[in-house]
Amino acid sequence: MHTHIDRDITEPGRANVKNYLTQEGDRMNERLQDPGLMEKINIEVGENISRRGGPDSLVIVSYKPNKEYNGLNISEISSLMNKSAIETAISLVISGNPKIISFIINSEDVACFMKKDYVMTCSDGSAQIPGSGMPHPRSYGAFPHKIRKYVLEDDLVSMEHAIRAAQ
């Protein structure tokens, strides 16, 4: 199930590496290739990939150097590149810093929250120029998805509840 994410559409360079690498942003690629930092970077990137639900949950939405990667997750791209997920993430950042989405919220938690009277659904999605990448699903489908899934299919909340809780 595609639900809200830990971060918005973001860049792996910001999401999967520590601040010391992104300081003086133009030097990030240099730091990511520094043999003296490589062991530390691999550990940190691996931890961040795990924290975000693993390589299957990290999906590329816009990668200018190779648009064929758009819509694929890190595991799929790792197979194509014949690299580990960590090596793939670092390589993608160095060669083009793609925008990603991560799907990490448990569907049972979403169902639990959905029923609460004090919980509202909102979206910070935005419109995109057609063909400029893959938009985040919430940009066009957050509210229709909520009504279809939680009102019509799962009968979890009433239509009135879903509409009142929409923001």
pLDDT in tens, 101-153: 887 777 888 888 889 989 888 777 777 777 776 676 667 778 888 899 999 99
> From CA 14, how far away is CA 18, in angstroms rounded?
8
Any idea where the domains of the chain sit in the sequence?
Answer: 12-102, 107-164
Structure confidence at residue 3 (pLDDT): 35
Task: Please state the separation of Cα 7 from the chain's center in Å.
Answer: 7
For residue range 52-96, what is the model confidence (pLDDT) as tens digits?
A: 889 999 999 889 999 999 999 999 999 999 999 999 999 998 888
**Tokens found for residue 32:** 């990511």
> From CA 10, how far away is CA 153, in angstroms rounded?
31
One-letter identity of residue 136: H
For residue range 7-55, what is the model confidence (pLDDT) as tens digits?
A: 334 444 444 555 556 555 567 778 888 888 889 888 988 988 888 889 9
